[in-house]
Amino acid sequence: MKSQLSYYAGRVTAGLTSRREFLGRAAALGVTAAAANTFLAQTARAQEPQMGGTIRVGMQGGATTDSLDPALAANATATAVSRLWGEPLLELAPHGGIEYKLAESYEASADAKTWTFKIRSGVEFSNGQPLTADDVLRTMERHSGEDTKSGALGIMRGISSMRTEGETFIIELDAPNADLPYLLTDYHLMIQPDGGFDDPAAGIGTGPYVMSEVDMGVRFVAEKNPNYWGDLGYADTLEYIVINDNTARVAALQSGQVDMILRVPPRTAGLIARAPGITVHQTSGPGHYVFIMHCNTAPFDNNDVRLALKYGINREEMLEKILFGYGSVGNDTPINASYPLYTEMEQRSFDPDKAKFHFDKAGDAGQILLRTSENSFPGAPDAAALFQQSLATAGISLDVEREPNDGYWSEVWNVQPFCTSYWGGRPTQDQMYSTAYLSTADWNDTRFFNEQFDQMLVAARGELDEAKRTQMYADMGKIVSDEGGLICPMFNDWVDATSDRVAGWVEDYKGFDLMNYYAPMKMWVVG
């Protein structure tokens, strides 16, 4: 009851519920008006940000092999840590749109090919050096050079030239792209002194914290940056502890060893939420669990086989049993409501008759083999078993082969014709489609070659009329859903949990989990 009360109290202080309604709810819970008012006052005080203290975060995904070099960041821990000491030019705003970080402002030419960024003045790196437009230029050069190892190389490819003019940084593109600001929020693009050419893994940037202890795959400690230009960060010290084992991470939170954790297993999230002093937060995002077929490999080169498999999957059951409802049903496109310019389309549902019809129409497809592994997405082998069962009701037999976790991304994904996989999503539809559905994309992991789709994608990228652009994306979604090699049964929600030692959680934050990894900086220790 106490937790319900504090939930409503939190909504009052956040302005989501009226005071009158709160008192009504409290009365329904059997609490007197006086007690409820006192409680509300206490909550309001707890909602007041407080400075100081230490916040400890149980992270996931970190390995001893990681590096502080943001160009090589490839997991949640590395990404979250780079947010501490570094900053990009722009960042996703909490509830959609763009927030200015090291760029004070930007403007685009009418054809969306030339972009000018004004660099924030009076900002210092943690080594004392002032930030200049040259540092920005050098950073971008490091991520786009011929010999770069950066994970951001793909999104830098459309740039034809870059230069500085005084305090501004200018990008020229090969072709119009209205989404460039979104691309620059990429987590690899942390601005470093001289672009980080001398020592990319030094952990020196303009971020709100300064790294004081780094033990890869184990522990990171950061202290408040006294010279930080902005107002981010309440706690004096942040401690990120890598706890990859799901059960151990939850146990650490429950026994008070850490104050917040990310990636709570959905299976146990409902049970954890009942524990005293723990709040579970659910945030929808663009990440999706998928089954991918190569459209150019038999038997998947026959669209009837692809449709048979799409009709033969029970999305609701999978959402219920794999994600325990912590997510939403997919519709065989990589796009969901979390994307700007999203249009809803008719939901494809489980239909054994249609599956059988398409499968028979395709003729002899032979035995179909699905490859999977636990690390393609959590519960993937179980999902594969469910798929096998639902296809069986349509009279289609599916073989499942579990591959070793180790080497899955290099030996199976994007190599074998049918496997389970995961996509974290991208901030815009253009970026998602360009990354994995364009004929020429490196990660065209469904081997989807459709000229009409490619043309529409390029046209939409330069289209500045929003209504027209929305329509184009809707048409493209239809093509992928009806003809593509993607079977997308579900989008997963981010599931995080915090203890009541910290406060200040913001709901529906865009981007990654833990409020796009800003939770440790935007939350505070309750006094």
Partner 1 sequence: MTPVVKLLAQRIALGLLLLFLVSILIFVGTLILPGDVAQSILGQSATPEALANLRQDLGLNEPALTRYFDWLFGVFQGDLGTALTSGQDIAESLGARFRNTLFLAFWAAIIAVPLAVFLGLLAVRYRDRWPDKLISAVTLASISLPEFLIGYLLMFFLGVKLRWFPSTAIGYRPDADVFTRLEAIALPVAVLTLVVLAHMMRMTRAAILNVMQSAYIETAELKGLSTFRVIWKHAFPNSIAPIVNVVMLNLAYLVVGVVVVEVVFVYPGMGQYLVDHVSKRDVPVVQACGLIFAAVYIGLNMLADVISILANPRLRHPK
Partner 2 sequence: MRIPIAALIGLILTAFYFLMAIFAPLLAPYGMAEVVGGVWEPSSDAHLLGTDNIGRDLLSRMIYGGRTTIFIATAATILSFTTGSVLGFIAAVLGGWADQVLSRFVDLLMSIPTLIFALVVLSVMPVTVPVLILVMGLLDSTRVYRLARAVAVDIEVMDFVEAARLRGEGYRWIIFREILPNALSPLVAEMGLRFIFMVLFVSTLSFLGLGVQPPQADWGGIVKENADGIVYGIGAALYPAVAIATLAISVNLVADWVLNRTTSLKGGRG
> How far is 315 from 309, CA to CA, in rounded Å?
12
Reading phi first (left if > 0) and then psi (alpha if -120 to 50, else beta), residue 427 is in alpha
- Give the Cβ contact number of residue 30 at 10 Å: 8
Contacts of 11 (CB under 8 A, 6+ apart): 17, 22
Q: Which of 238, 243, 293, 391 binds partner 1 (CB under 8 A)?
A: 243
In sequence order, what are the beta bridge partners of 290?
Answer: 421
| Under rule CB under 8 A, residue 148 binds partner 1 | yes
Residue 156: contacted member of partner 2, partner 1, none (CB under 5 to 8 Å, by partner type): none
Q: Which of 258, 318, 391, 515 binds partner 1 (CB under 8 A)?
A: 258
CB of 62 vs partner 1, minimal distance in Å: 9
| Under rule CB under 8 A, residue 154 binds partner 1 | yes
> Which helix H or strand E contains 384, and what residues bound it?
helix 380-393
Residue 265: contacted member of partner 2, partner 1, none (CB under 5 to 8 Å, by partner type): partner 2
Burial class (CB in 10 A: 0-12, 13-18, 19+), 245: exposed
Contacting partner 2 within 245-284 (CB under 8 A): 246-247, 251, 265, 267-268, 271
Q: Which of 212, 296, 389, 397 binds partner 2 (CB under 8 A)?
A: 389
| Under rule CB under 8 A, residue 501 binds partner 1 | no
> How far is 404 from 388, CA to CA, in rounded Å?
20
Q: Which is nearer to partner 2, 345 or 385 (CB)?
A: 385
CB of 152 vs partner 1, minimal distance in Å: 9
Choose one: 1-9, 81-89, 397-405, 487-495; the region binding partner 2 (CB under 8 A).
Answer: 397-405
> How far is 254 from 501, CA to CA, in rounded Å?
12
Q: 246 in helix, strand or coil?
A: helix
- Give the Cβ contact number of residue 213 at 10 Å: 11
Phi, psi of 515 (to 5 degrees): 55, 50
> How far is 382 from 372, CA to CA, in rounded Å?
10
In sequence order, what are the beta bridge partners of 450?
Answer: none
Q: Are 86 and 69 in contact (CB under 8 A)?
A: no
CB of 88 vs partner 1, minimal distance in Å: 17
Amino acid identity, position 47: Q
Tokens 């940037």 belong to residue: 205
Q: Which of 50, 63, 357, 449 binds partner 1 (CB under 8 A)?
A: 63
CB of 384 vs partner 1, minimal distance in Å: 19
Q: Is the dihedral of CA 411, 417, 422, 423 positive or negative?
A: positive
- What's the token pair of residue 252? 């650490």
| Under rule CB under 8 A, residue 373 binds partner 2 | yes
CB of 527 vs partner 2, minimal distance in Å: 32
| Under rule CB under 8 A, residue 402 binds partner 2 | yes
| Under rule CB under 8 A, residue 459 binds partner 2 | no
- What's the token pair of residue 421? 């996989």
Give the count of residues interacting with partner 1 (CB under 8 A).
45
Q: Are 151 and 187 in contact (CB under 8 A)?
A: no
| Under rule CB under 8 A, residue 388 binds partner 2 | yes
Residue 410: contacted member of partner 2, partner 1, none (CB under 5 to 8 Å, by partner type): partner 1
CB of 386 vs partner 2, minimal distance in Å: 6
Contacts of 179 (CB under 8 A, 6+ apart): 427, 428, 430, 431, 461
Contacting partner 2 within 296-325 (CB under 8 A): 317, 320-322, 324
33-47 and 2-13 helices, crossing angle to 10°: 60
| Under rule CB under 8 A, residue 397 binds partner 2 | no
| Under rule CB under 8 A, residue 385 binds partner 2 | yes
Residue 442: contacted member of partner 1, partner 2, none (CB under 5 to 8 Å, by partner type): partner 1
Q: Which of 94, 217, 230, 265 binds partner 1 (CB under 8 A)?
A: 217
Q: Which residues in this chain contact partner 1 in the complex, by CB under 8 A? A: 63-67, 72, 74-75, 146-151, 153-154, 201, 215-219, 241-245, 247-248, 251-252, 254-255, 257-258, 405-407, 409-411, 413, 422, 442-443
Q: Which residues in this chain contact partner 2 in the complex, by CB under 8 A? A: 246-247, 251, 265, 267-268, 271, 317, 320-322, 324, 372-375, 381-382, 384-386, 388-389, 400-407
